[in-house]
Amino acid sequence: MKEENLNQGHSKDKRLEVICNFISSNLFDETIGAGKGFYNPELKVFFFFDKKEKILMDLDSIDFYCFIRDRYGIQRKDYDEVRDDIKTKIWASRNRIEAHLCSYFDKRQNILYLSDYNNKIFKLDGEKIEYVDNGTDGIFFEFNTEYTPYYVDPENFESLDYFQNGFDWKQFNCGKSLIHKYLSSRANFHSEGGKKLRVDEQKFLLIIYFYSLFFESILSDKPIACFIGRKASGKSFIATSIGKILFGDRFQSRHCPDKLNDLRTVIGENYFLVFDNLDHWVKHEVMDTFCIAATGGTIEKRKLYTDHEVIKIRPQVFLSITSREAKFKRDDLVSRMLLFNTTKVERPKSKTYLFNTIEADRNKIFEEIIVNLNSIVKLLQSKTDYCPDCISRMSNSGAFRSLIPIYSGH
């Protein structure tokens, strides 16, 4: 029902109250299966889940504004009051939620949920792969227009599986893996120097790091991937390629924000970030924020346009850094890094062309990712009580890597 119809027969004083009551009642009407509201008290964020479209929207987003305007035709001057009335009813309902961005691993059930960014979920239990609606099992993924959906036939998974019993290096290198084609084979690593990992060791670490990105919920500490090399060595390209695979062609590397509040906002809103060319000395407070993000700590920031309201953010972000000459002197930051060393590419190709090839094959890439993630879930199920000794400060990520013990021909 449009707003002009709601105005009929009501005085001016009652007009907005009638509009608010009608819209909020209609939105949450269980008899028509309209939708449900949720609140995250830690982040102080309100969500609406449309049960028909299976879409989860932040009430302060442009998407929710367009949704309400399209559905009810309200005037812009009335929108803020309508939204606040909806927030009040959601707050009173006490429906709590943790909205996810990319994937979520339920360690109690040993099930991995993976968003297709189009309000559907791949549900992986180590044996079968199901394609279910957003919101299944109480798992919700927030709608984000920056993430490009991918399309995989849930009835036809035929990709190469190189994680059946651990990582099979020979099978991965057989020429059929698209992760090898578009990621590890394009990494121009080198190992000159006594303490650096061999090229093949760095490539193995890169693949394990890539697959660990889907298990953020069990990695309370997350390593910072640092790609170090001279100009034209492909360090930014490889880091950005990971983001292109995960989120599509809109993903871009960025410069680290100068203002601390901007940095905290960016870290709190993203799942994977590439900060390019950190060649200058990094400020102490920036390093503090990096360490908090890597160790699963909490970031506090003042809510915009308020004086006293504080938001507590537990970042879900994986950080990646590129640098010609890493100038990080603090051992607590360096010890949380995975270091990859790159050397100059002798015959460089157009980045646009190379990124376009990823985009063209992204659906098939995700088919391979899903098949292998399902095998990793099975490995995790077989070692639920596994607790290896770790000398690294990244104990959880180190334990994850040691869960993949077999890689033949290496």
Residue type at 187 in one-letter notation = A
pLDDT of residue 111: 96
Residue 282 pLDDT greater than 80, yes or no = no
**Highest averaged pLDDT of the listed ranges 11-15, 355-359, 384-388:** 355-359
Q: What is the arithmetic mean of pLDDT over 210-236?
A: 90
Mean pLDDT throughout 58-67? 93
Residue 49 pairs in a beta bridge with 36, 56
The predicted pLDDT at position 231 comes to 87
Q: Say how far apart CA 64 and CA 149 lie, in whole Å.
A: 19
What mean pLDDT, rounded, does the chain reach? 85
Query: How confident is residue 61, by pLDDT bands cut at 50, 70 and 90?
Result: very high
Average pLDDT over residues 219-235: 88
Tokens of 195: 């303490």
Q: Given this model, what pLDDT does residue 1 score?
A: 53
* pLDDT > 80? residue 92: yes
Instruction: Supply the pLDDT for residue 406.
Output: 41
Nearest C-alpha neighbor of 284 from the set 263, 269, 314 = 263
Which of 159-163, 194-198, 216-220, 337-341 shows the lowest per-residue confidence on average (mean pLDDT)?
A: 194-198
According to DSSP, the residues that pair with 342 across neighbouring strands are: 189, 229
| pLDDT tens readout for residues 369-395 | 999 999 999 988 876 654 444 444 444
Q: Do 111 and 381 touch, CB atoms closer than 8 A? A: no
Question: For the residues 184-198, what does the mean pLDDT come to?
Answer: 82
Residue 307 pLDDT exceeds 60? no
Task: Render pLDDT for 328-343 as a digit per residue (tens, 0 to 9).
Answer: 767 777 888 888 999 9
C-beta separation of 293 from 317 below 8 A:
yes
Mean pLDDT, residues 202-223: 91
Residue 183's pLDDT is 95
pLDDT at position 296 is 74
Flag whether pLDDT at 353 surpasses 90: yes
> C-alpha distances in angstroms, 169 versus 48, 161, 180, 403?
45, 11, 11, 15
| Complete domains list, the chain, with CATH | 3-93 (no CATH), 104-402 (3.40.50.300)
Q: State the pLDDT at residue 238.
A: 95
Q: Which residue has the higher pLDDT, 171 or 5?
A: 171
Query: Would you state the structure tokens that stand for residue 365, as one six-digit string?
Result: 């890439």
Q: Are 68 and 76 in contact (CB under 8 A)?
A: no
Alpha-carbon gap, residue 231 to 390, rounded angstroms: 34
